[in-house]
Structure 1
Amino acid sequence: MAVKDSLARGLKMTVLARAVHVLSNAVLMVLLTRFLLSPDEYGILFLALSVIGVARLFSDLGLAKSAARYVTEFKESDASQVPYVFETALKYRLLFIGIVGCALALGRNYIAGLIGEPAVAPLLLVGAVYLGFHSLSVFNSLLFQGFNCVSWSALVQVVNNVNRIIFAVLFVFVLGFGALGALLGYLVGAALAMVVGFGVLYKYFYSNYEKADEPEEGLSRRILEYSAPMMITRGAGVLNTKIDTILIGVLLNPAAVGFYTLAKQISSSLTVLAGSLGFSISPTYGEQKVNEQLDQAARMYRKTLEYTLLLYLPGAVGVIIVAEPTIRIVFGEAYLGAAPVLQVLGVYVVLRAVNQTTTKALDFLGRARVRAIAKGSTAVANFLLNLVLIPKLGVVGAAVATVITFGIYTFTNVFVMYSELPLDSKRLVRPVALVGVVTAGVGVPVLLATRYVSDVFSLVGVVLFGVAIWSVLAIRTGLLDISSTKSFLLSE
């Protein structure tokens, strides 16, 4: 019961935080695309953010996730080592942030010239500062996850996202700073989140542990060694999520970057629940492994996978069907180039949802190295596929490359999870078949109803119509138990 209650509280707070993140990003997306920025300007902004994301790889180096893993381990076995884990990881984090931030600021003009977009240079100067604040706020969030207190991670995210939109609106609307103003909003949000995160981390966690006379022998080395596969995994993620954007800018144009970014943001935002569940539940897998409760972990993962497929397979079909009217009505005719990209990425929505409920668990089960190899291999394949498909298919080629390679990565992670836990794949056959029935039952009526979409109200009506059909079918097939769900959501 304690595990269930802890998961419920953590999940609800994480869902709230990520819902705020999605809402703030959605509002910012609509404001920037519909009223403030052209596709070229929008593309320039996210081209700069992609470069910053690549630079952040070298400032993070997987240290926070490695520290979170050892916090989870030591708080169960030797709590006096926890402060040393925190200090070691933070020391290295600050060192690499300083090096990378200076390199980004000093090399901004060279980088802008290399990708062929001089307008990116001033954004990279601000981005060097943003990189530091954002990296440290993420560090705090991941440490809270290691303590299995994801509610505090959620607080840090809420502070970040609420202030991001407030200050972005201030800088763009009031001061007229355009894309640079939006980036300044990101910077202020990250800075405030960092301050809150460190304050909570020190007061409620670090200071509450009695510190050993000296760190365990080899502790720094172990943290750095385990951060290596985390860095490889993170680097592969950068190749998948940032390099493709940069390649589109180099091989096509900023407008294409804007189309791809918009479609990717929409598809990624739809996986907020899966991401929240994966983030909240993953430390529990590590604790259950330490306590030799693998059967319980297996049951938890199987049910998580069932609910993820129930929610996201029908959802992906809906995304594919309503992509064109959604882009046209919400973001404007100028951004219609994003519609076919979003349709392809509908498949990515399912893959990402399954992946988010799987990969973080592997980190806490000690399988980060295997995941790193899989992600590194598929990231390289994604890079090569982008080089081939973008010139041939345009911006849609980048989406196709993402779906193919991310699909391979996701299935690999699920396979590793099955090898780590005592899972019986036969028990998934019936639920998956029923999910297929629900998906077909939702897709056909929504496809027929979409022809009547003409404005935002009819679009919302079609979406709600699809949700209503999904709810009825999910309950009638027995896949969704209302009483269990209500009990979980209302638990304290």
Structure 2
Amino acid sequence: MSDGDAGRESILLFLVQITARVVGFLGLVYFARVIPQSELGIYFLFFLVIQVSTMVGNLGMGQALVRRIGEGERQSELFTVALTVIGSVSLLATAAFYLFKPTISEYIGATVPGLLAIATATWLVADLVIKTLQAEDRVLASGLLQLLQDVVRVGAGVGFITYGFGPVGLMYGVIIGFTATFVVGLPLSNLSVAIPAKSDFERVFSISRYTMFFGPTNFIYFWLDTFLIGVFLTKAAVSSYEVAWQTTRVLIIATMAINTTIFPKISRWASNGDYEEIERIVPGSIIFGLIFPLPGLVGLTVLNEDILRLIYRPEYVEAAIPMAILAGYMAVESVQRVGNSILTGMDRADVPFRSRLVGVTLAIVLNLVLIPTYGLVGAAVATFSSKLLDTLYQWISIGGLLDLSLPIKSVSWQLISATVMGLSVASLTTVLAPLTLPTLFAIVFTGAGIYAVLVLLDPDIRQVVDQYLPVSLPAV
């Protein structure tokens, strides 16, 4: 696949994923407005528990499957290996939910072991189907499945809330969304169930013995802070922090799209020894991956309180500073995801394994120390600091494996453009204060326009964006 084809596939996937994020964001806004803050916290803690069970229970099958199926040998047998593993894990998770029902129910604030078990199983199967399509290099189909999942989840959740189900209705929506994903997705794959050999298990586990650690470390990065907020603080605080988290996650959509597209290609290039191809595609991936996180970081720092107060509800303003810090986390996460795709695709999953050991150790220590004292701000600082250390470790290692030319000039221009945008937004905020929802959106669109005009003045950035857009940019 040519650069142009890869770029257009990435932008189409980006458009699909941004649509999914918009659907999820609108759902979050609606749920935050109609469900009391403490009750919404019950749903977030339910989601946290199934997130833990699926991240741990996945055992690294997803990335291992993409890597091995991409080699083109015994693909159906490898798929069956993964299906067997997650089926066994689902049974173990179900037993654990019922065995520890009193403790889990007290933590969540609701007794729902059956829903936890069903949600875990359906999530694992849905994720396996999506990863299988990615392994077959059908990343756009996998993106459309994720969009379907969000649309069904939000739509079902709204329906159940309308009929008075409260946070339990959101739990039903999650399960229905996952179920729709694998029911629709399974027929799209060319793979089927086949009897695997011992060697097939060995091939998968030779990768997953490292990538299985990604799940628990992802939990620590994305959910340990929320988990400990649920332990040390209140369910209302959980809601505020999760609203901040979910708002910032839209910033890494471009990185998610391009990583999903290039990871199978990196795997093939590495298998063929074409390391020059990997080196060539990395600078553009970094530039495109940061095209949204950097202005997002600046914009959320300036408008954090107004966004939480006007889009959600005034009680969520307590998460204003954490949201700005988490936006910084997303900028670092964008760079880290590119590095992780490079290393895993090159069959060097041992490097992110070690880097995450370092990062999660710091995350655990800092969260335990900072949350009881500094609350939500402490949680955000702990999570950001650990991710930064993890990312630096990975990229230092990549520098020893590849001869890379990092796009320092272009990234610097992105920062300058974002800073000018931020100053303009701050000025408009002062002039138009107090803000209303219409004026907030007007300021956001104005800031986005300023950033777009400035950032595209850099020829390298313009070339990358033009490559990844389905239509050409107008000449300047």
TM bucket (normalised to shorter chain) is over 0.9
Shift of 1:37: 1.4
Counterpart-to-counterpart distance in 1, 2:325 and 2:387: 13
1:41 maps to: 39
In the TM superposition, what whole-angstrom CA distance separates every residue of 1:267-295 from its partner, at most 9, and x where no partner exists? Answer: 11221111111111111111112222212
The amino acid of 2:2's aligned partner reads V
Tell me the distance in 2 between the aligned counterparts of 1:140 and 1:10: 20
Shift of 1:358: 2.6
With 150-159 and 258-267 compared, the bigger mean Cα shift is at 150-159
Give, in angstroms, the shift of residue 381 of structure 1. Answer: 1.4
Match of 2:360 among 363, 376, 379: 379
| Letter matched to residue 77 of structure 2 | Y
Q: Which 4+ residue blocks in structure 1 deviate beyond 4 angstroms? A: 214-217
Q: What is the aligned partner in structure 2 of residue 183 from structure 1?
A: 171
Q: Does 1:475 align with 2:456?
A: yes
What is the root-mean-square deviation in Å for CA atoms of aligned residues?
Answer: 2.1
Q: Please report how far the alpha carbon of residue 483 of structure 1 lies from its aligned counterpart in structure 2 after TM superposition.
A: 9.5
Q: What TM-score do you get using the length of structure 1 for normalisation?
A: 0.90
Question: Are residues 1:87 and 2:77 paired?
Answer: no
Residues 130 and 142, structure 2, Cα contact 8 Å, conserved in 1: yes
Deviation at 1:435, TM superposition (A): 2.6
Name the residue aligned to 2:111: 121
Secondary structure of the 1:434 match is: helix
Alignment of 1:245-284 (within 5 A): 245-284=226-265
Correspondence 1:138 to 2:114: no
For residue 53 of structure 2, what is the aligned residue in structure 1? 55
Mapped to 2, the partners of 1:476 and 1:50 lie a distance apart of 43
TM-score, scaled to structure 2: 0.93
Of the candidates 401, 416, 423, which is equivalent to residue 444 of structure 1? 423
Q: Given that residues 55 and 104 in structure 1 are in contact (C-alpha distance below 8 angstroms), is that contact kept between their aligned partners in structure 2? A: no
Candidates 383, 388, 413, aligned match of 2:369: 388
- Which digits, 9 at most, give the CA deviation of each residue in 1:106-136, with x for residues without a partner? 43222233x3x5x2323x4312101111111
Partners of 1:344 and 1:399 within 8 A in 2: yes
Question: 1:133 touches 1:190 (CA, 8 Å); kept in 2?
Answer: yes
> Compared with structure 1, are the counterparts of its residues 310 and 32 closer, same or farther at alpha carbon in structure 2 (3 Å cutoff)?
closer
CA distance in 2, matches of 1:12, 1:205: 27
Distance across 1 between alignment mates of 2:154 and 2:29: 12
Instruction: Look up the match of 2:185.
Output: 197
Query: Which whole-Å CA distance do the structure 1 matches of 2:100 and 2:174 have between them?
Result: 21
Answer yes or no: is 1:459 the counterpart of 2:440: yes
Q: Residue 18 of structure 1 contacts residue 272 of structure 1 at CA under 8 Å; is this kept in 2?
A: yes
Amino acid at match of 2:10: L
How far apart are the structure 2 equivalents of 1:313 and 1:186? 31
Instruction: State the identity %.
Output: 23
Decide whether the 8 Å contact of 1:164 with 1:185 is kept in 2: yes
Aligned to 1:423: 404
SS at match of 1:424: coil
- 1:310-363 alpha-carbon deviations (Å, 9 max, x no partner): 442232111111111010110011211121211221211211222233323322
Offset, 1:490: 3.9
Deviation of the 1:482 alpha carbon: 6.7
Q: How does 1:404-415 map to 2 (within 5 A)?
A: 404-415=385-396
Deviation at 1:217, TM superposition (A): 6.0
Rounded Cα–Cα distance in structure 2 between residues aligned with 1:142 and 1:414: 25
Aligned to 1:236: 217
- Counterpart for residue 103 of structure 1: 96
- In structure 2, what is the equivalent of residue 161 of structure 1? 150
Aligned length: 470
State the distance in 1 between where 2:377 and 2:52 align: 22
- Alpha-carbon spacing, 1:309–1:287, altered in 2? closer, same or farther (3 Å): same
CA distance in 1, matches of 2:131, 2:156: 25
How far does residue 6 in structure 1 lie from its aligned partner after superposition?
4.4
State the one-letter code of the partner of 2:176.
V
Q: Does the 8 Å CA contact 2:8/2:467 hold for their aligned counterparts?
A: no
CA contact (8 A) 2:11 2:468 kept: no
Aligned counterpart, 2:327: 346
Q: Report the Cα distance in structure 2 between the residues aligned to 1:283 and 1:40, rounded to whole angstroms.
A: 42
Counterpart of 2:3 in structure 1 is 4
Distance 1:54 1:282, change over 3 A: same
Moved more, 352-361 or 364-373: 352-361
Q: 1:418 to 1:112 in 2, by over 3 A?
A: same
- The alpha carbon displacement at 1:440 in A equals 2.4
Mark the runs of 5 or more structure 1 residues left unpaired by the alignment: none
- Equivalent pair of 1:248/1:257 in contact (CA under 8 Å): yes
- Cα offsets for 1:164-189 (capped at 9, x unmatched): 1111111111x210000011011101
Q: Which amino acid aligns with 1:82?
A: Q
Alpha-carbon distance in structure 1 between the residues aligned to 2:385 and 2:359? 9
AA partner of residue 480 (structure 1): I
**1:170 alignment partner AA:** G
Deviates more, 1:54-63 or 1:319-328: 54-63
Structure 1 residues 275 and 71, CA, compared in 2 at 3 Å: closer, same or farther?
A: same
Matched AA of 2:103: Y
1:82 to 1:374, Cα distance in 2 relative to 1, 3 A: same
Q: Letter of the aligned partner of 1:467 in structure 2?
A: A
5+ unaligned residues in a row in structure 2: which ranges?
none
In 2, distance between residues paired with 1:343 and 1:87? Answer: 43
- Rate the CA distance shift 1:275–1:484 in 2: closer, same or farther, 3 A: closer
Q: Quick one: structure 1 residues 273 and 487, their matched pair in 2 at CA, closer, same or farther if it must change by over 3 Å?
A: closer
